[in-house]
Amino acid sequence: MYSVTVRDHFMIAHSLKGEHFGPAQALHGATYVVDATFRRSEVDADGIVVDIGRATEELRGVLSELNYRNLDEEPEFQGRNTTTEFLARVVFDRLVERIREGNMGEEARGVEGLRVTLGESHVAWAAYEGEI
């Protein structure tokens, strides 16, 4: 399996509901380092998994929709705990949508799998991975 990973980051504010979240129940900020790993069995005719430049642009676009936002105030997240795991799935779904729309070029339509990892700190991260 071949893979290409691109990286970016975003910053949000949010609070988490539930006693087990302790101090994270209060409004706080988080900065996530995001790795998006695109996978496919075979490279395309040009020898690539996906155009790295386009993948970087699309990841940046997805993250710009979340960057510097208080997620507690975003209607689409009302009633949801915007945990690191949950946000990894949000980024995954939005990247898959961009692949399907052709935003990453025709070669990206050959991508078979995607893994999105959000690094919360140097010692903790979460990911969502699936087939496309």
pLDDT surpassing 90 at residue 51: yes
The whole-number pLDDT of residue 106 equals 87
pLDDT surpassing 90 at residue 17: yes
Residue 110: pLDDT band with limits 50, 70, 90: very high
Q: What is the mean pLDDT of residues 73-91?
A: 97
Report how far residue 120's alpha carbon sits from residue 123's, in angstroms, rounded to the nearest whole number: 8
Q: What is the mean pLDDT of residues 35-58?
A: 96
Q: What is the mean pLDDT of residues 63-69?
A: 98
| One-character DSSP codes across the chain | -EEEEEEEEEEEEE---SGGGGGGGS-EEEEEEEEEEEEESS--TTS-SS-HHHHHHHHHHHHHTTTTEEGGG-GGGTTS---HHHHHHHHHHHHHHHHHTTTT-GGGGG--EEEEEEESSSS-EEEEEEE-
pTM over 0.85: yes
The whole-number pLDDT of residue 20 equals 93
Q: Domains of the chain (ranges plus CATH)?
A: 2-74+82-131 (3.30.479.10)
Beta bridge pairs of residue 36: 6, 116
Residue listed under structure tokens 């945990």:
83
pLDDT surpassing 90 at residue 107: no
Beta bridge pairs of residue 71: none
